Structure formats: structure tokens, C-alpha cells
Amino acid sequence: MVTPRADAEYARWLRLNATSTLLIYSGLIAVLLPAFHFVLRALPGVPPGSDSLPLRCVSAGLSAAIAIAVVAFPALRRYALTLQFFNVLACVVVIVMLVVNSGNHYAYVASGLLAIVGAQQAFYRTSHLAATFAIGFCAHVGYAAAHGILWDPMNLAALGTVGSGYLVGFIPAALRIKIQTADIRNRLAAQQVKEELLDAQTALMQLARYDALTGLPNRTTVQELLAEEIASAERTEARCAVAFVDLDRFKDVNDTLGHEVGDRVLRELSARVSKVIGAAGVLARWGGDEFVVIVPSALDDEIIELLARSFIHTIAEPFSVDGIELAISASVGIAVYPRDGAEPSVLIRNADTAMYKAKHDMGSGVAFFSDELHAIAANRHYVQNELRRAITDGGLELYYQPIVEARSGHVVAAEALVRWTDHDGRLHLPSDFMAIAEDSRIIVPLGAWVLNAACERAARWRREGRGIGVAVNVSPRQFAHPDFVETLARALRGSGASPEDVEIEITEAAIMSNVDPVLATLQAVHRMGIRVAIDDFGTGYSSFAYLKRFEVDSLKIDRTFVEGIERDDNLAIARSIISVAHALGLPVTAEGVETPLQARILAELGCDRLQGYYFGRPITAGAFDVTLERDAAATVGVPSVVCS
Ligand code: C2E
Ligand code: CA
Ligand code: CA
């Protein structure tokens, strides 16, 4: 790639070269052609009047005029080649006239050759003409020798002119061009290397400091800028604010319309928000669908909030992509120096925490950082770090809760429920850490750990001949992860579990978020022979239509519909869920069965499997084995349907 700067240099060189070659040749033609005329006349035996000085001077004069014009008016250099072309035409005309005028056609043609070749040489500036010229010269000598006119004075004179023209004009000019070309090539190459290095450096700098997609300052840069801003606020005892902007459900845009559309929206959105901010602050891309705005000299909270609202409004204006109108909402969290921190990283983290509050509060979309949030943020931080460690250090354990067949009262499966023991020995339930794991993507390695452990347990129970399946919870983010199928396959292979002993539970949210990839993942899971249950059914979209479409294998009715079922509260809902599921050929498991009455009612409604504290709480695998042994004789009783 020739860079623009090198290009300009090259053009300059071309112009220079054209001019110098022009000068050399016009000089040659102007001097040699008239000289030849006088030589001819001085030679004995040349018929007088057979040559015409005025005619010869036309092309010579023209060459000289062109050369002078080009030197005097540099602007004409651009037309040097065109002018030379006319000079060549003039030479041809002169030669034709000389030939027609004279008795000795041959000599005039030969002498005219010099003029043409000279002009052409200047015109084309290529050394290929050296060969043409040499061949012409040899042909001339050969012709003259063959016709016995080699020593004819006229011919000698012509030869002399051609030969000397060649030597005097062409060789040095060709050499010059060669040297110049080599020189310019080297210089160009050096220049280009320098430029490429420079460009690469600039590009690297750009990459290191600015986001490639939006051109906005990136993470690193915004932290530097914020540090400067804090320093200046400190000097002037002013405040400055950081707003953390996160787009709501932007993942859906990427998933449903593709990343290209997502990228276009992000670009347009950045442009819009930048415009709104103007000189009032700096917009930067923090990553993904997250942006950071630095507001220097932030006066008071109301003004900052107004500004934050203006971002939300601008973002909310619909985007039109390929004829589709897209509405995007955003949540903004704000942290203010010095109140909420004095370090760039702390301020940004606190603004991020406030953003979480803004998102989950379903309110205005704007939230300020507060002390209460500080505790939440600290905890989130702690949980993230500790969880990461727990995955590798054995801090996680699976508890198992029995799932009972309603008809027989036998334990047929167990749901694996993860527990985390932190290093103070405190046992944490999923409600303490699952949302944090999901938000921070720790869910992916954590989920993989769960899959492995659950498959190992299933394999072991199979080896021990217990015939107990294991149900594993898979979170939406884990299920949507491109490696999910591979992770599942690896867990099966690694443990030797048989697929019929493993069932995964996903929520409606996991299915609805991301239709096409979900379908493919579900199909892949099915191909492996693993069943899929919809967890917490009834709390989400409760759409039977997609259950059919996605070919799930069973439903789990959420605990909330089991609660109060004995008081008729949710009886109708539970009944209709069960009957529609059965109509679709889907077996139903009821969760949260706490009393014998609930169990009996559900069994009467035709519920296939039951799970809940009444049958057993989640317990360690060891404890589960003990209960299994005990229950082998007497099954956990589902109060008889018949006896009711
Ligand atoms: P879930 O899938 O709905 O799991 C059932 C939850 O209900 C369990 O809570 C269980 O202890 C509780 N439960 C069972 N029977 C009863 C009952 O009779 N009464 C009451 N009140 N509760 C009952 P747990 O273990 O705290 O798990 C909570 C949630 O955390 C689970 O809800 C599941 O969504 C998630 N979770 C647990 N383990 C995992 C895991 O390994 N991966 C993923 N992705 N999520 C998990
Ligand atoms: Ca579950
Ligand atoms: Ca559930």
C-alpha cells in the first residue's frame, strides 16, 4: 500500500524526471538536427538543396520551446507528456516532408529516426526504447551494408547523427533515469516503512486508547481522564461526577437482529449521546453495552440527574434499522467525587453499583450511589472473588432433593442444588450468590462445575444400581453460552453417566430470550439423549405454544402455585397447567410440596412427580444415600389417592 504521503513524493519525482528528460532531448534535437544539416552540406557529393534547414528547425525549435516553457512555467509540468506527444507528431510531419522533398529517402528517414526516438524517449521515459533504438540502428547499418551504401557519405552522416545522438543523449539519460529510479525507490521504500511504522503506531495508540467500534475513549483512557478530572476538582475544591450508563436488554438486540445491527445501534447511540453531552462532559465506552460519562465541575445532584435523564431520553428515541424501529432503554448510575470516592476505579465501580440499583428498581432509570449501596457493592465484590476461588478450591457442593413419582411414592430422581461454603465456613444458599454469578458470568465455570459433579453422581448411582436420575439447573446465561453443548457432552463423557439419567432444568426466560440459538441448543441436547424440563413454570411467560415448538420433555409447576392449593387458592391454575401439559404429552412435576394434603391434591390432579420439603429437603449426597437406603423398603408416602 502506497501511503498518500509517499504518493505525493512519487508524483513530484515523476514531474522532475519528465522535465529533465525533456530538457536533455530537446537540447539534443535542437543541436544535432541543424548540425547534421551542415555536415550533410559540407560533404562532397551531396546534392545541394536536398535538405531543408527550416524544416529541420521546426521540430528542433518546438522541442526547445517546450523545454523553455516547462522550465519557465512549472504549472505546465503536468502537461509535459502531452506537449512531448505533440513534439513527436511534429517530428513525424517534418520527416514525411523531408522524405517527400528529397531524392535520397533512406538517409532522411534514418536521420529523422533520431528526432522521433529522442522525442519518444522523452515521451515514454522507459528504457525499453533502448532496445528499439539499438535494433533500429543495427537495421540501418545492415540495410546500408546490403545495398552497398554503407560508405555513402549521406548514409555515414545519417549514421553518425543517429549514433552520436544515441550515445550522447540516450545512454546518459537512461542511466540517469535508472539511478533516479533506484534512488527514488529506495527513498520511497524508506519513507513507506517509516510511514507504515508511524501509521501502525498511531493505530496501536488509537486501539489502546479508543474504542474501535465507536471511536470513543475506552476503559483505560476514561480512567486517565477521570484521574485528571479528580486532580483538578481537588485543586479547585469542586465536585465531579461519573455516570455509568447501561443499556437494558441490549443482548436481545444482538441475539435477535445480529451483531452487525447491534454494532450499528451502538455507533449511532454513541454519536447521539456525545452530541447531547457536548462540552458538558466526556463520553467513553466501558465495554459491551456499557458507557461511562465524566461530568467535570458537577454542580449539584439535580443538575447531574437532569443530564443523566437527557442521556436516557436520547437513547430512548427509536432507532430505525433496516426498516425496523428499535426502542432501547438505559439505566444510569451516578457517583460523585469526593462524596462517593476519590479514586477513578472506585468512582466508576460505585457508579456501576448505582446503575444496578437503577436497573432493578424499575423506577426512573437513574440512581445515585449511597452507603447502603456501598455494602451491596462490597458484598458483590467479595462474592465474585470468593466464588471464583470456590470453583477451583472445592468450596462448592451439590445438595440433592428427592423427586418422587406420585403414583408409586418412589424416589425416582434428585434435583441437584448447589451450595457454597465460604472460607469462614458459612454455608450459602443459591439466593446469596446465584444472581451475582449470573451477572458476572461466573455462572459459566460454576455451571460447568455443577454439570460435572451432577453427572458424576448420576454415574455413581447408576453403578450402585439405584436408578435415580439427576436434575440439574442450568441458568439462562449458561444455556445461551456457545460452549454449553460441548460442556454438557464433556461432563457426560468424563463421568461415564448415561444420558437417560440426566435431566436439565431451564427457565422460560432462558428459552424466550434467544429464540434461534436456543432451538439449536435444545436440539443438540436432545440428540445427546438428555431430557429438558421447564423450571418454575407459570412464573414467566407461561406460553404453551413455545413448549410445543421447543419440544421440551416436562414441566415443573412453580412452588407459588402449590402454596395454598389446599385452600383452593391456586387449584384452578395448577389443574389447568397439568391438563394442558398432559394434552401436549408433557409430564408434570410439582415443586414445593410441603404437606401431605398438597401432595394428595396434586396426585389427584394427575401430577406425575412431586418434590418438596414434605418428601425431603435438599441434603448432601452422603445423607441422600442414607435416606435412599432407608426408603428402599418403605417409600416416602404419597398419601393414597384412593383412600381420600
Ligand atoms: P429451583 O430450581 O426452583 O430449586 C428449588 C428450590 O426450592 C431450592 O432452593 C429448594 O431448596 C427449594 N425448595 C424445595 N422444596 C421446597 C419446599 O417444599 N418449600 C420451599 N419453601 N422451598 C423448597 P435452593 O436450593 O435455595 O435453590 C434456589 C434456586 O437456585 C433454585 O431454584 C435454582 O433456580 C437455583 N439453583 C440452585 N442450584 C443451582 C445450580 O446448580 N445451577 C443453577 N443455574 N441454578 C441453581
Ligand atoms: Ca430447579
Ligand atoms: Ca423451580
Q: Which residues contact 126 (CB under 8 A, 6 or more apart)?
A: none
3-state secondary structure of 489: helix
Strand 554-557, strand 588-590: pairing:
parallel
Provide the pLDDT confidence category of residue 180 given band limits of 50, 70 and 90. Answer: low
Question: Which of the residue ranges 156-165, 270-279, 336-345, 591-600 would you say has the lowest mean pLDDT?
Answer: 156-165
**Which listed ligand is nearest to 503 at the C-alpha?**
2
pLDDT of residue 183: 66
Q: Is the pLDDT of residue 155 over 50?
A: yes
613 lines ligand 1 (CB under 6 A): yes
Helices (H), 528-620: 544-549, 559-562, 571-583, 596-604
CA of 534 to the centre of ligand 2 (A): 8
Question: Among 254, 255, 259, 248, which Cα is nearest to 327's?
Answer: 248
382 lines ligand 1 (CB under 6 A): no
Q: Is the pLDDT of residue 634 over 60?
A: no
pLDDT of residue 327: 86
405 and 412 Cβ atoms separated by less than 8 Å? yes
Question: What are the DSSP E strand ranges found in 510-560?
Answer: 531-537, 554-557
- How far is 611 from 589, CA to CA, in rounded Å? 7
pLDDT of residue 551: 80
Q: Across the chain, what does the average pLDDT equal?
A: 80
Which element (helix H / strand E) includes 5? helix 4-42
Looking at the whole model, is its pTM more than 0.75? Answer: no
CA of 419 to the centre of ligand 2 (A): 14
38 lines ligand 1 (CB under 6 A): no
Question: Which of the residue ranges 66-80, 342-356, 479-493 would you say has the lowest mean pLDDT?
Answer: 66-80
Q: Is the pLDDT of residue 5 over 80?
A: no
CA of 506 to the centre of ligand 3 (A): 9
Question: Which of the residue ranges 163-167, 375-379, 504-508 would you say has the lowest mean pLDDT?
Answer: 163-167
Neighbour count for residue 171 (Cβ, 10 Å): 11
pLDDT of residue 1: 39
CA of 138 to the centre of ligand 1 (A): 101
pLDDT of residue 601: 95
CA of 537 to the centre of ligand 3 (A): 8
605 lines ligand 1 (CB under 6 A): no
CA of 422 to the centre of ligand 2 (A): 23
Q: What counts of helices (H) and strands (E) characterise the chain?
A: 24, 17
487 and 448 Cβ atoms separated by less than 8 Å? yes
| Best of 387, 391, 417 for a ligand 1 pocket test (most atoms within 8 Å of beta carbon) | 417
Q: Which atom of ligand 1 is nearest to the CA of 417?
A: 38
> What is the grid cell recorded at 350?
460505585
612 lines ligand 1 (CB under 6 A): yes
401 lines ligand 1 (CB under 6 A): yes
Question: How long, in residues, is the chain?
Answer: 644
For 534-555, the pLDDT digits (tens) are 998 877 666 777 777 788 999 9
Q: Is the pLDDT of residue 644 over 70?
A: no
456 lines ligand 1 (CB under 6 A): no
CA of 454 to the centre of ligand 1 (A): 15
Locus of grid cell 514531474: 15
365 lines ligand 1 (CB under 6 A): no
452 lines ligand 1 (CB under 6 A): no
pLDDT of residue 148: 72
- Neighbour-count burial of 629, counting CB atoms closer than 10 A to its CB (0-12 exposed, 13-18 middle, 19+ buried): exposed
594 lines ligand 1 (CB under 6 A): yes
CA–centroid distance for 171 within its chain: 56
CA of 240 to the centre of ligand 3 (A): 45
β-sheet with 282-287: strand ranges across: 282-287, 290-295, 240-247, 330-337, 366-368
536 and 507 Cβ atoms separated by less than 8 Å? yes
277 and 293 Cβ atoms separated by less than 8 Å? yes
